[in-house]
Structure 1
Amino acid sequence: MEAMVSRFRRIGIAGCIAGLLVVAVPQNVPARAAPATQGDPAVGPHARQDAEHASVPLALAQTHGSITPRAQVKAAPSAVAGPSTPSVAASNKLFREVFGFAPYWQLSRNASWNYSLLSTVAYFGLTANNDGTFNTSDSGWTGWNSQALTDTFNRAHAAGDRDVVVIKAFSNATINGIVSSSTARQTLITNTINAIAQRGLDGVNIDFEGSTSSSYPNLQADFTSFTGQLSAQVHQRWPNAMVSVDTYSGAASWDAGFFNISALAPKVDAFFIMGYDMASGNMPGHAGPNAPLTGWTYN
């Protein structure tokens, strides 16, 4: 985590599913060599959560409303953009970026959430297939088309929060199918832009949780290239959109894993660090920020 703070300006801790969001500020920092014990997790944090809830029945009504524009709430007088209060913050009165995920299995509780404590609400999420289309038969798609999500987005916008959509892929095979094909890449980018436009959103969160593998030697480079391509096209359409990438807690300490932070940083607005419970899942032998809370990985 120290490496991450030294390479980027830290700006906040996330809400509904806790992690760390940092502004992508590229600096000329040489890549670190990976310790012998370091590696990507076999299964990413969000992938574990998604698998745990994928079979949960959703009793959500089909959407019948539209998304209202985000309210422009005047920022607090001292909340001037700078190292401690970056301009990436939303338009409410928070002094830090507070990024909260709204997963499909929690949408029915949206009325109880305090949106004034958040600056960005990210719907988790739309599942990408290896050809760049969206999976239209999973729970994420059901949530996407639900009135509960419309209500969530509208409540967030009323509080001055950004609304973004999470585009997710959790297997090397699926990720490689997308990022290694120019056709699949553009299909997913086009579908993502259409999704943002359809719901009147303010950006996208890229949640691709891959791992280093000799079977896919170009996965890191292709993912980096895809991310830049998606970010460029989203920003061309909406210059003020927020494009963020979810990364592992140890990703900034070495550039030999799935995420090459040094290469990704100039292409995106922020990173969401999946620092859930501990760091030993992808940094074996290294102490994490705290002991396990949910039992994802043995420490």
Structure 2
Amino acid sequence: MQLNTVAYAERKSILPKNIFLACIYIIILVFLATGILSFISAYKITHPSKVETPQITSNIAPNYKNISFYTGGEAEDKINGWFFPSGTSKTSVLLVHGYGKNRLQFNEETFKLISQFTNKDINVLTIDLRGSGNSSGSINTFGKNETADILSSIKYLKQIGTDRIILMGFSTGASSCLSAVSETPYRDSIIGVIGDSPYSTVDNYTDYLINSSSLLSEWPFKYTIKFCVNKLSKVTSDLDIIPKIPALIPTPVFLIDGAQEDIPASDNTKLLYEMYYRKSPVPAYYWNSGAQEYCNSFLEYPEQYMDKVMDFINKCIKKADMADKN
């Protein structure tokens, strides 16, 4: 009887220990699974599938030529694009697509946008940012590499004889255009910036991507995925546009957004406009199209969109003409 009592006591003392170890193993597995799932989700966000540039025919596109150049810097990535000349014009619009797109932001409808410019004696350069379309690279950095690509594009336009440049970007491309203005050595050649649905802080946009692309629960995955996204793409607050507003002045800007509810685009865009308007001696322009989908104003209201865009560009050209005379 004494032996049985001892054996029972030993089993009783081992049981709590086993439960404790089991809890530790479960916690480790939960953390491991959370980390793996977060990394996979973050990798998909930072490495979106490339939308390949389609083969086009002359009956749907204005006259163009294939162009390419290298970004320079540590990573010699090749940027591919199309240049649409308009006679002997020395004024060019640089179109910069958003996240997950290519040089044709609105697919074949983009040619209607391009034609509006070339018909008004304005050249157009549209590119695939690195990691998109037919350009090299695979990662999206939400503005870091993209800004560098725009700087290289501006340099290319200057090398082929462009005197005046209007930057026109969409979504992350819009924010990258705003960033590029303060960094380019060809600042005097930038006569205007059109930003369609830019973010004001990069956190706002990565939060939107995580919420819209991940099927995982908000807690804890929103925070763990965001941590992985920031590490993979090297996203920092240096990409925020708000602190760069003073450096953008006095370049004229025209900011566009819509009325969609899935991303606070209006909050971002209108905030940038109001900050610029208060600080700048030159006019800033803002238009809320009422479009129901994010960065979709051109497709939903094409005529009104182009009227406002061309009105802004004409003002920029007139201002540049006056500056040249002085």
Higher helix share: 2
Q: TM-score, normalised by structure 2?
A: 0.31
Highest RCO, 1 vs 2 (Cα 8 Å, sep ≥ 6): 1
Q: TM-score, normalised by structure 1?
A: 0.34
